[in-house]
Amino acid sequence: MPTRTLLGVLSVVVLLSGCGFQLRGDASLPPQMSSTQMVVDDENSALARRVRAMLEQNGVKLVGGDAATAILEIPTNRVVTEVLTIGDNARVREYRITHTVSFRLTDAEGQEILALQTLRQAREISFDEQKILAASREQEYLKQDLAETLARLLVTRLESAPAGRG
């Protein structure tokens, strides 16, 4: 049995390496982001917390005011829930959660490094009134998942920023 398990693990490793799969490493962020100020309305939102953690994991020191070499502005961080369908008993059957984020990156002098960009993700949920507690948990889970996805996309976009002028 241990031989079969070993062969199974080895075959999975060979297949994954053959298709080009590799774990995501550290982001290669522009050098001018070494000391970055993050400007966002709600510092404690799920997105802001996740972006902050991802930047710090990639060697960015988050600072305030005059110490910043770059400024990451997030003027839009909005989560909207909209009704899609209503059942014959006048109750919501399906709804959509949409999370929209806009951001831009400037240097300390206000020169634009990365122009204003907007990212949007949405998930649809079917509502079962017999499982109200589960639906509430699912909605919170989806909001967290949307924030996580958008934070990863935002950091990936920051990687595409051109290197500084020195």
- CATH (domain of 74): 3.30.160.150
Question: What's the mean per-residue pLDDT of the chain?
Answer: 83
Question: At 24, is the pLDDT very low, low, confident or very high (cuts 50, 70, 90)?
Answer: very low
For residue 13, being part of any structural domain is answered with no
pLDDT above 60: residue 82: yes
CA distance 78 to 66: 28
Q: Which of 50, 51, 96, 97 is nearest to 72 (CA)?
A: 51
Q: What is the pLDDT of residue 2?
A: 67
CB contact at 8 A, 48 and 38: yes
User: Total domain count for the chain?
Assistant: 1
The verdict on residue 134 lying in a domain is yes
Residue 36: φ, ψ to 5°: -115, 140
Q: What is the pTM of this model?
A: 0.75
Structural domain of residue 77, as residue ranges?
29-159
Residue that is written with structure tokens 């079969």 in the block: 4
Number of H helices, E strands in the chain: 3, 5
Residue 24 in domain? no
